[in-house]
Amino acid sequence: MRRLYPIFAAAVILAMTLTGCAAPATDQPEPTPITPGGASPQGTLGLAEELRGAGAAVELGEKTRQDFFEPEGQMLLVDGEPVQVFEWPSAAQAAEAAAAISADASSVGTTMITWVDTPHFYAEGSLIVLYVGSDAAVEALLADALGDPIAVGAAPWLP
């Protein structure tokens, strides 16, 4: 029994030492603050928070797809208006995709588009945002968050 005592004591000390060396529990890191006025939002959720901070009611909608963009998009409802947000892995890839959008928003690359309302494309950092509508307040919110639109189409002709 006396021979086992030093081994048992060493095992207890080792266990106590290892327990004390465990990494402390950490809280979630603080989110990067979003600065208004055309500063690059931190992705889709950062844009949503920036729009909320500007006083908009923003809800996360369903995923969305557009044939002319590679990444899947995320729908945001901004004051009830659908806004599509597409996020690329890098700002360079988003800039390349944005360059394919015609100034009058009638085409993206080789895809010709007929819109049901006025299209507005915004680009900032790794995001391209598409708002198809004519709500001036939503347009102003997006311009404040993302800068001026890179393409705006004409309102569709309706009989």
Q: Is residue 3 part of a domain?
A: no
User: What residues are paired with 83 via a beta bridge?
Assistant: 76, 131
**Measured distance CA(42)–CA(140) in Å, rounded:** 19
Task: Give me the pLDDT at residue 144, please.
Answer: 96
Res 37: pLDDT = 39
CA dihedral 4, 8, 14, 15 (to 10 degrees): 150
Torsion from C-alpha of 149, 155, 156, 159, nearest 10 degrees: 170
Instruction: Please report whether residue 135 resides in a domain.
Output: yes
The confidence score (pLDDT) of residue 72 equals 96
Which residues span the domain enclosing 112?
A: 43-152
Helix (H, G, I), strand (E, B) or coil at 118: coil
> Are 131 and 81 in contact, with CB atoms under 8 Å apart?
yes
Among the listed residues 66, 68, 36, the one whose alpha carbon sits nearest the alpha carbon of residue 142: 36
Number of domains in the chain: 1
Task: Report yes or no on 158 lying in a domain.
Answer: no
pLDDT of 43 reads 93
Q: What is the separation of C-alpha 158 from the centre of its chain, rounded to a whole number of angstroms?
A: 33
Assess if residue 19 is contained within a domain: no
CA 13/CA 112 separation, integer angstroms: 73
Residue pLDDT tens, the chain, 159 long: 445 444 444 444 444 444 444 444 444 334 333 333 344 567 999 999 999 999 999 999 999 999 999 999 999 999 999 999 999 999 999 999 999 999 999 999 999 999 999 999 999 999 999 999 999 999 999 999 999 999 999 877 665
Assigned token pair, 5: 């005592």
**SS3 per residue for 14-66:** HHHHHHHCCCCCCCCCCCCCCCCCCCCCCHHHHHHHHHHHCCCCEEEEEEECC
Instruction: Give a yes or no: residue 15 inside a domain.
Output: no
**Taking a C-beta distance cutoff of 8 angstroms, is the pair 48, 57 a contact?**
no
- 148, part of any domain: yes
Quick check: is 131 in a domain? yes
Structure tokens belonging to residue 44: 């889709």
pLDDT at 42 (0 to 100): 77
